[in-house]
Amino acid sequence: MIMEDRMAHGHEDETVLVTGGTGYLAGWVIAGLLQRGYRVRTTVRSLGKAEQVRAAVGERAGAEAAGTIEFAVADLLSDEGWDGAFEGAHYVIHTASPMPFDPGVDLITTAREGTRRVLGAAARAGVKRAVLTSSGITAGAGDSGTPATETTYAEPSGTPAHAYPDSKILAERDAWELATATGLELSAVLPTFMQGPPLGARNGAGTTDVIRRLLAREIPAVPNIGWNVVDVRDVAELHILAMTNPAAAGQRFLASGSFLWYRDIARILRDKLPDEAAKVPTRTMPDIIVKLLARRNPQLAMVRPQLGRKRLVDNSKARTQLGWQPRPTEQTITDTAAVLTAKDSASR
């Protein structure tokens, strides 16, 4: 049935290169493309990761479709392999980027050099369009009452604690400069805080660790911080819309849902999953404790400036211009928790 659906879309002659095939978002992007009938090639740093990717994508697209995925070996910090990865490609969706707190990784150098390599190779290959996974933090905003929009650009802080946000800001800036210089048709998707079911055997995928830690009762109280939560499945859908919709050429699109405080996420879990989340903490950790812990914890150090701050994000551009429809955030939280719980039980 899945293969019949793929062929019915008529994209079997078009190849999409998705960078960073082992990633949280990439798996959902690849699955969505396969379900629409595209041929998919993805980059990995080692071919030993191929079966991991196929198994993860197969959870959504089916094993037969996942078996058609092509693989190319390429690294963001090396020129080798990129031109070959683009051979015969019609589009590229560049999701690969270093994650915060990767040990020994220079986040800014890796993100910027990787973006230049990928988009430079895309321009040489003459792809129809490139879609860049940027971040909602690259859309600057004024005061706390002014929603962030795609018309504004954040400035890098230049501080070590904010190397990850700076890496996204600078990499997107490089992408637009390269597109202008080469004539590459580019779109950018700016996700906020991604949650949603992780594909594959990994129990957790970076950002979903906030839910995993609540379920595992690893924290006694929740910091007074919050996020604009968006479902990874909806972010993947927006990437594909940005790749195919003529209106997306040369545009940025914020992928954002509703704002939730950390305590709101805890309450949703307790309300919707009373058995699994009965002991999830809902009391708020005093700010002074967070600030003290941030001296030794790089994750808390990065979010410390956000204590008590609610950031508004306007996602109307994606909805009105591309017809994007994000799902309710409560559904995202409960679906994430359900999958994390099931994967945790299966791994025991």
> Which amino acid is located at 273 in the chain?
L
Residue 295 lies in a domain: no
Residue 93 lies in a domain: yes
Round to whole Å and give the CA distance between 98 and 106: 8
The distance in angstroms from the start CA to the end CA of the chain is 33
Round to whole Å and give the CA distance between 31 and 93: 13
Q: What does the pLDDT read at residue 125?
A: 98
Residue 319 lies in a domain: yes
Q: What does the pLDDT read at residue 296?
A: 81
- pTM flag (> 0.85): yes
Q: What does the pLDDT read at residue 3?
A: 37
Helix axis angle, 50-61 relative to 24-35, nearest 10°?
Answer: 60
Q: Is 340 helix (H, G, I), strand (E, B) or coil?
A: helix
Q: What does the pLDDT read at residue 160?
A: 85
Residue 156 lies in a domain: yes
Over 90: is that where the pLDDT of 122 sits?
A: yes
Residue 341 lies in a domain: no
Over 60: is that where the pLDDT of 347 sits?
A: yes
Q: What does the pLDDT read at residue 339?
A: 94
- Strands 15-19 and 39-44, bridge-based pairing: parallel
Q: What is the dihedral of CA 299, 262, 203, 56, to 10 degrees?
A: -100
Q: Among 20-24, 34-38, 106-110, 197-201, where is mean pLDDT lowest?
A: 197-201
Per the structure, the count of domains in the chain is 1
CB contact at 8 A, 34 and 67 = no
Q: Which tens digit of pLDDT belongs to each residue from 226-282?
A: 999 999 999 999 999 999 999 999 999 999 999 999 999 999 999 999 988 988 998
CB contact at 8 A, 163 and 107 = yes
Residue 144 lies in a domain: yes
CA angle, corner 314, sides to 307 and 270, nearest 5? 55
Residue 347 lies in a domain: no
Over 70: is that where the pLDDT of 139 sits?
A: yes
Task: Find the catalytic residue in 168, 272, 291, 343.
Answer: 168
Q: Which tens digit of pLDDT belongs to each residue from 85-108?
A: 999 999 999 999 998 767 678 999
**Could you tell me the residue range of the domain that residue 94 belongs to?**
2-200+229-256+310-325
232, HSE (Cβ side, Cα atoms, 13 Å):
24
> Which of 302, 281, 261, 279 is CA-nearest to residue 157?
302
Looking up residue 114, the CATH number of its domain turns out to be 3.40.50.720
Decide if 343 is catalytic.
no
Q: What does the pLDDT read at residue 7?
A: 43
